[in-house]
Structure formats: C-alpha cells, structure tokens
C-alpha cells in the first residue's frame, strides 16, 4: 500500500463504502429488527449494523492518514 497515491486511497475507501452500502440494502428488514444483547446493551440488530457501517470506514480513514499523512 505504500505505493498507493492519496487519490487512489480515497477512491478505494469510497468504492468500498459503496459496495458495503449496496450489501446493506439487501439485508432482511425482519432480521434487522431482531433485538441483540451485547453485555448490558440491548438494541435492534439494525443499530449494530449501522454503528459498524459508520465506524469501520472511519477507522480505515484514520489509519490511512496516520500511515500516509495527507
């Protein structure tokens, strides 16, 4: 990845997010309404998926900016 330009890296992050969003659109609504328990937290599975979908790309963006400062 050291050879990847900033522009290419940005494109990779955006393309990955688009693929992830397309997959999320196919998820079953009834399954997403299922309540899950994580420790003391109870939430619809959709909330867990949303948190992962939001925070995971942010993690990669921060990681990339640390490795390759913009």
Quote the pTM value.
Answer: 0.63
Gap between the Cα atoms of 26 and 43, Å rounded:
20
pLDDT tens per residue across span 3-26: 888 788 789 888 988 998 899 899
Q: What is the pLDDT of residue 23?
A: 92
Rounded to 10 degrees, the C-alpha dihedral 47/53/56/62 comes to -110
Over its C-alpha atoms, the chain yields an Rg (Å, rounded) of 16
pLDDT tens per residue across span 27-48: 999 999 999 998 999 999 999 8
Q: Which residue has the higher pLDDT, 57 or 8?
A: 8
**Mean pLDDT throughout 55-63?**
82
């Amino acid at each position: 990845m050291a050879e990847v330009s900033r522009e290419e890296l940005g494109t990779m992050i955006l393309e990955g997010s688009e693929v992830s969003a397309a997959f999320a659109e196919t998820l079953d609504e009834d399954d997403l309404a299922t309540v899950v328990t994580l420790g003391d937290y109870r939430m619809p599975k959709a909330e867990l998926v949303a948190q992962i979908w939001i925070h995971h790309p942010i993690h990669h963006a921060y990681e990339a900016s640390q490795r390759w400062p913009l």
